[in-house]
Amino acid sequence: MINLGRRCMLRSSFMVSTLFVLAMGALVPAARAQTASNQPASTKKTATTKPKKVEFVTIQKGTLPVILSAPHGGELDLPGSLPRDRKSGGSRFQTVRDVRSIELAEAIANQLEAEFGQRPYVVILRVSRKYLDANREADYAYESPEAQVVYDEYHGAIEQFKKAILEKHGSGLLIDVHGQSKEKGAVYRGTRNGLTISALNRRLGKDAAALYSKVMEDAGLRMIPPSTAAPNQEVEYNGGEIVVAHGSQNPGGIDCIQMEFGADLRSVAALPQTAKDFVKGLSPFLKEHYGVSDQRQAAAGGTSQAGR
């Protein structure tokens, strides 16, 4: 009888303990939930990351009277856009990318800043040329409304920058950066035989294209045509729609030169030196013909050596 009573008491004690543990297990999550609901709303994490907008055209304002344009180095697909049609593009239809022409334009911009303490204006097309060619007339440049929007954005940025440069400086220079593989170690100059630098020709009263080639040759670049060539010798790569549409032969235009850098000059190893050589030649040209000066030296009374 005694053993039986003890067993009953032990069983009753065990059942009570078990029920208590189960009850507490149910109460703890409920208490945590209640505590969490009472927390201030500011402590709760919410998703704040937004999808990054794809940049089809890079547009950067500057302070130098110089625009760097790079229309043929892009690789991005353009959603909703139709590829360009060779039939409508005629004999000038091309979809080949100018490899590392974007990187070269960016390196030139950085080198100009190191030289003058000021940055040029920059307009770069990131879209693949199979959808859009910003260096062609609109009728041959694209096949869809989506591509037209990007085309208009590209040329609209150049228009805006031209206006700002003319208002501030009175004259300016656009360099259209391209790549070619025909003469891998040389650079073709394109001005439509002086047409797109008409304003500079008028100011100087002479062939400014030859002077431009000469400063580039002095900096170590092999130019085609060379500075010693007779006028009107630009035959190949002599300038596309960008320099023609925005050149100084037009009302509100600025001087424009197309530069077709050879493949060897755009290699990974050679590209930094190419940018340095180009700016080495461009620097005296900008100082003499466009009134550009080193703003850091001016601010420091002519004693600054930063960036040298």
265 in Cβ contact with 187 (< 8 Å): yes
Average pLDDT, the chain: 84
How would you write 48-108 as a 3-class SS string?
A: CCCCCCCCCEEEECCCCCEEEEECCCCCECCCCCCCCCHHHHHHHCCCCCCCCHHHHHHHH
What's the average model confidence in pLDDT over 103-113? 98
Per-residue pLDDT at 305: 35
CB atoms within 10 A of CB 130: 18
- Residues of the domain holding 64: 57-290
Per-residue pLDDT at 4: 36
Per-residue pLDDT at 50: 43
Residue 69 lies in a domain: yes
Residue 298 lies in a domain: no
Per-residue pLDDT at 294: 79
* CB proximity list for 221: less than 8 A, separation 6 or greater: 186, 187, 265, 274, 277, 278, 281
DSSP 161: H
What pTM was computed for the model?
A: 0.80
User: Using one digit for the tens of pLDDT, what is the confidence trace for 144-172?
Assistant: 999 999 999 999 999 999 999 999 999 99
Per-residue pLDDT at 82: 86
User: Using one digit for the tens of pLDDT, what is the confidence trace for 181-235?
Assistant: 999 999 999 999 999 999 999 999 999 999 999 999 999 999 999 999 999 999 9
Q: Which residue has the higher pLDDT, 298 or 196?
A: 196
User: Using one digit for the tens of pLDDT, what is the confidence trace for 112-127?
Assistant: 999 999 999 999 999 9
Residue 18 lies in a domain: no
Per-residue pLDDT at 238: 96
Residue 11 lies in a domain: no
Place of tokens 């001016």: 298
User: Using one digit for the tens of pLDDT, what is the confidence trace for 237-294?
Assistant: 999 999 999 999 999 999 999 999 999 999 999 999 999 999 999 999 999 999 998 7
Q: Are strands 222-224 and 173-180 parallel, antiparallel or unpaired?
A: unpaired
Residue 139 lies in a domain: yes
User: Using one digit for the tens of pLDDT, what is the confidence trace for 71-87?
Assistant: 999 999 999 998 987 76
Q: How many domains does the chain have?
A: 1
User: Using one digit for the tens of pLDDT, what is the confidence trace for 5-53?
Assistant: 433 333 344 333 433 333 334 433 444 444 444 444 433 333 344 444 5
Residue 78 lies in a domain: yes
Residue 49 lies in a domain: no
Per-residue pLDDT at 12: 41
Per-residue pLDDT at 49: 42
How far apart CA 162 and CA 246 sit, in angstroms, is 8
* CATH code of the domain in which 267 resides: 3.40.630.40
Residue 256 lies in a domain: yes
Span of 93-97, 231-235, 293-297 with lowest mean pLDDT:
293-297
How far apart CA 179 and CA 171 sit, in angstroms, is 27
Per-residue pLDDT at 300: 56
Q: How far is CA 76 from the centre of its chain?
A: 13
